[in-house]
């Protein structure tokens, strides 16, 4: 009887493995994860350079992980099992104190050096422009005191110092760590998401204003409003821990007169607001800010000072730009993940004199698209 039961179990297990492998082959790859709010790795091209450099194997491993069939279900199942075992991490997310979810930041590899070099090349090529890099630490650094026992992410300050030390003289670094750390008792990062809040972005805006030579508006000159208290972000989706409370999203709107025209040239779309409130009805509520990710957007304002700036960015810029928009006649926002044209020609065509690179540390350490500015 035991032999028969064992045979049945073996047959069921083999059938299960075979079925999963077949499904992984026949099910079409996804390009975007709604639950994680990010692009998924696609099947990498097998080229000699990719193979020799090791990038093919690295990207292929990430491709298998991203495209695994029923991934969200398996991650949730693993998370529940880990929590029962009192494990403090799941899928690269630490279960921190006070309900904070914090991403395990790993020591950067050569990609960080490549990205620093790319920005230096840009600075050399466009030395007649004023170029700035604002590198934002992630919540895992600012809230180190909320990490679980024995958690040991790589120190992001080491990465920040590495970037500062290796930037050339044509690129000015905006250091916002101390400012954020000194205000960490305020709600400056989401607990369930990888982004900072608009309050956190405000403190960085103050630091940037000091470097760029304009006076920032006081926080009292904005009306604050909580537009959602049911936001579950990307860390929540990755950790798949249903016992975490939701975040609130707060926006700051000027009390003074403003007018904006936001154009998305490649989508033939335009709006007169820096917020797209329809996203509050879906899961990706952070796309409330500037309608989420786009290859190119332009913001024209009622500020008449002939000042223009181009921002190369990740999504940390989205809740930051509404503050900056009150000081520029035009802001051009380029996302190098999607924008494939010549950035030099674009800058020259629009007669832009200021450039801001705005990235969070985690993205800047690993993004393979910043090379486009070379």
Residues 188 and 133 in one domain: yes
pLDDT of residue 118: 98
- Percentage of the chain beyond pLDDT 90 is 73
pLDDT of residue 140: 98
* Pairing of the two strands 130-136 and 171-175: parallel
**Residue pLDDT, tens place only, 217-251:** 999 999 999 999 999 999 998 887 767 899 999 99
Residues 122 and 256 in one domain: yes
Residues 195 and 51 in one domain: no
pLDDT of residue 62: 78
8 falls within a domain:
yes
Two tokens at 361?
Answer: 């540390």
pTM (two decimals): 0.81
Rounded CA separation 275/166 (Å): 36
89 falls within a domain:
no
**Residue pLDDT, tens place only, 7-17:** 777 777 787 66
C-alpha dist (Å) from residue 265 to 89, 260, 339, 358: 42, 16, 12, 21
| Arithmetic mean of pLDDT, 76-97 | 74
Residues 63 and 105 in one domain: no
Residues 64 and 112 in one domain: no
| pLDDT at position 4 over 90 | no
Q: What is the extent of the structural domain holding 343?
A: 99-373
| Arithmetic mean of pLDDT, 83-93 | 75
- Percentage of the chain beyond pLDDT 70 is 90
pLDDT of residue 147: 97
Rounded CA separation 64/30 (Å): 12
pLDDT of residue 70: 64
Positive or negative torsion for Cα 32, 270, 358, 231: negative
> How many independent structural domains does the chain possess?
2
pLDDT band at 28 (very low <50, low <70, confident <90, very high): confident
Residues 50 and 123 in one domain: no
Q: Indicate the range of 49-58, 267-276, 306-315 predicted with least confidence.
A: 49-58
pLDDT of residue 241: 73
| Arithmetic mean of pLDDT, 42-50 | 79
Residues 46 and 104 in one domain: no
Q: Are 233 and 256 in contact (CB under 8 A)?
A: no
94 falls within a domain:
no
Residues 30 and 134 in one domain: no
Positive or negative torsion for Cα 272, 338, 233, 25: positive
pLDDT of residue 7: 73
Residues 19 and 120 in one domain: no
- What does pLDDT average to over the chain? 90
81 falls within a domain:
no
Residues 104 and 230 in one domain: yes
Non-local (6+) Cβ contacts of 151 within 8 A are 88, 89, 94, 102, 104
Rounded CA separation 108/159 (Å): 8
């Amino acid at each position: 009887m035991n032999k028969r039961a064992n045979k049945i179990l073996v047959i069921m297990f083999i059938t299960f493995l075979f079925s999963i492998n077949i499904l992984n082959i026949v099910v079409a790859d996804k390009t975007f994860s709604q639950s994680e709010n990010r692009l998924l790795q696609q099947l990498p091209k097998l080229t000699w350079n990719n193979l020799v450099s090791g990038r093919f194997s690295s990207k292929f491993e990430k491709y298998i992980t991203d495209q695994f069939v029923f991934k969200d279900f398996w991650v949730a199942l693993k998370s529940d099992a880990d929590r029962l075992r009192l494990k403090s991490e799941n899928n690269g997310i630490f279960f921190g104190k006070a309900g904070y979810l914090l991403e395990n930041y790993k020591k950067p590899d050569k990609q960080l050096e490549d990205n620093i070099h790319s920005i230096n090349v840009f600075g050399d090529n466009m030395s007649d422009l004023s170029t700035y890099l604002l590198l934002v630490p992630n919540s895992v650094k600012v809230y180190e005191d909320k990490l679980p026992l024995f958690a040991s992410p790589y120190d992001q300050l080491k990465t920040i110092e590495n970037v500062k030390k290796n930037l050339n003289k044509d690129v000015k670094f905006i250091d916002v760590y101390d400012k954020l750390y000194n205000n960490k008792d305020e709600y400056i990062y989401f607990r369930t998401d990888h982004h900072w809040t608009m309050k956190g972005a405000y403190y960085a805006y103050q630091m940037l204003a000091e470097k760029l030579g304009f006076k920032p508006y006081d926080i009292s000159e904005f009306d604050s409003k909580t537009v959602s208290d049911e936001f579950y972000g990307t860390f929540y989706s990755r950790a798949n821990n249903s016992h975490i409370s939701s975040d609130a999203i707060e926006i700051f709107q000027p009390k003074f007169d403003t007018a904006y025209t936001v154009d998305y040239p490649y989508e033939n779309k335009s709006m007169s607001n820096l917020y797209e409130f329809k996203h509050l009805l879906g899961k990706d509520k952070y796309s409330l800010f500037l309608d989420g990710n786009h290859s190119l957007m332009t913001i024209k304002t009622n500020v008449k000072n002939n000042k223009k700036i181009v921002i190369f960015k990740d999504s940390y810029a989205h809740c930051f730009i509404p503050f900056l928009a009150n000081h520029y006649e035009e802001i051009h926002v380029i996302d190098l993940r999607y924008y494939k044209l010549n950035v030099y020609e674009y800058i020259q065509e629009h007669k832009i004199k200021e450039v801001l690179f705005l990235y969070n540390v985690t993205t800047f350490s690993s993004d393979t698209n910043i090379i486009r500015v070379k």
